[in-house]
Amino acid sequence: MSNPRLFLNAILITVASAAITAAANAQSPPIPPALIPPAPIPSAPIGTTPAPTPQIIMPPAPRADQFPTPPAPRAPGSKSETKAAPRVQPRIIRPVNPPVAPSQPEETQPVTPAAAPATGPELDLAYGAFQRGYYLSAFNTATQRIEKLGDIKAMTLLGELYSNGYGVLQDDNKAAEWYRLAAERGDREAMFALAMFRMGGRGGPQNREEAARLFAAAAKLGHVAAAYNLGLLYLEGRLFPQDFKRAAELFQFAAEAGSPEAQYALGTFYKEGRGVMQNYVEAARWLGAASAADYTDAQVEYAIALFNGTGVEKNEAGAVALLSRAARKGSPIAQNRLAHVYAAGRVLAADPVAAIKWHLVSKAAGAKDLVLDEFMSKQRADVRAAAEKAARPWIDAITQSRS
């Protein structure tokens, strides 16, 4: 809520999936006649080496019980009520009976939730104005709700407006204060937003312990992203003792609620037998769910499972389609595997230009492969030149992203 995108290239991506990216620097093994090698995984248990501070992110798309990403704001401080460009947005709906997350960890003491206030058409007007880009109207309506009724959801909405500078001057301190007031009164959205502030050091000093407490409190009230983020903290093992089983429980809850990040995390847990019994069928099921939600890392893993028939019916054509999609979204592992597919003429017609192109692109991103180096060296000069020309825009983009 307080960041435009979700928690995630999180610890699973900085540790487990960061291990995937890091392992791309190692030589990829040659592809056997019938198999695509699995994506690289860490050889030692996650957490045996110091992990970087996680960048907690929010879910990739708004859901019914979360704030949507608002339209582009007008200039801060503007008093204009000009309507924002039309945009399809899901309506914010607070479920009557929110799901219940797994049991609260003993390491945290959650905020005691207060009874939710009565809602009314005025609050609907405030959120409706927020979603349509009428931020000043949303601010005024929410302020009136607080003054008259002490409305908790209106407090959270003011925090959101101040957090992003929508209709008012951006002010992290005011945002944090409104989130704090709503969180103390039991609003799980405010708890999550304030946890994000505490993790990032916005509106006050960084406080990971307080963030974890707020994540736990919001997760207990059924907040999906909070449960996922809390699972990542258990996976990291810095604030709490590392606990794969507890992380798996939290990922399971978030995965069942539809979080692609959690589905991917849970799929990798089942694949490796971390926190759960190893089960390739369950691994493929959850990786497939995350892949269907367009989660790139899951598309790579699920494509490999499809190609090899691991936990799912073998489907080489479907696997290559997923690899192609992930490669075009910038996955070095998918680009490397797609290069092997073109080099071998498996599923797709043999195409040395395409094979070398994707090899060069993945190599620029750090995926070394001596087998493909040798394949490239054996091609004619005009083939290599055509491949290098095709790869150049991709390589330039990678270089620019690092500068």
Say if residue 122's pLDDT is above 60: no
- Are the CB atoms for 217 and 198 separated by under 8 Å? no
User: Sorting pLDDT into bands at 50, 70 and 90, what band is 381?
Assistant: very high
For residue 334, what are its two tokens? 């998918």
Average pLDDT over every residue of 134-157: 94
| Higher per-residue confidence, 319 vs 45 | 319
Say if residue 391's pLDDT is above 50: yes
Return the axis-axis angle of helices 370-377 and 352-364, rounded to nearest 10°.
140
- Are the CB atoms for 143 and 158 separated by under 8 Å? yes
The tens digit of pLDDT for each residue in 3-60 reads 433 443 444 434 433 333 333 333 333 333 333 444 433 222 222 233 333 333 333 3
Average pLDDT over every residue of 140-168: 95
Average pLDDT over every residue of 358-373: 96
Say if residue 108's pLDDT is above 80: no
- Integer Cα distance of 355 and 343 in angstroms: 5
- Are the CB atoms for 30 and 373 separated by under 8 Å? no
Spell out the alpha helix ranges (H) of 57-151: 121-132, 135-149
User: Sorting pLDDT into bands at 50, 70 and 90, what band is 123?
Assistant: low
Give the CA angle between residues 79, 81, 82 to the nearest 5°. 120
The tens digit of pLDDT for each residue in 282-311 reads 999 999 999 999 999 999 999 999 999 999
- Name the average pLDDT for the chain: 77
Provide the sign of the torsion angle of the four alpha carbons 127, 197, 60, 110, taken in this order.
negative
Average pLDDT over every residue of 214-238: 97
**pLDDT of the residue at 36:** 42
For residue 106, what are its two tokens? 């003993």
Q: What is the percent of the chain where pLDDT is above 90?
A: 68
- Are the CB atoms for 298 and 323 separated by under 8 Å? no
User: Sorting pLDDT into bands at 50, 70 and 90, what band is 314?
Assistant: very high
Domain residue ranges in the chain: 1-57+186-314, 315-403
User: Sorting pLDDT into bands at 50, 70 and 90, what band is 121?
Assistant: low
**DSSP secondary structure string, 256-274?**
HTT-HHHHHHHHHHHHHTS
DSSP state of 94: -
- Are the CB atoms for 202 and 172 separated by under 8 Å? yes
Say if residue 97's pLDDT is above 90: no
**pLDDT of the residue at 403:** 83
**pLDDT of the residue at 55:** 33
- Integer Cα distance of 36 and 52 in angstroms: 31
Supply the pTM of this predicted model: 0.71
**pLDDT of the residue at 400:** 94
Q: How many beta carbons lie within 10 A of that of residue 347, not counting itself?
A: 15
Q: Which of 45, 42, 55, 18 lies closest to 229 in space, CA to CA? A: 55
The tens digit of pLDDT for each residue in 165-207 reads 999 999 999 999 999 999 999 999 999 999 999 999 999 999 9
Architecture of domain 1-57+186-314: Alpha Horseshoe (1.25)
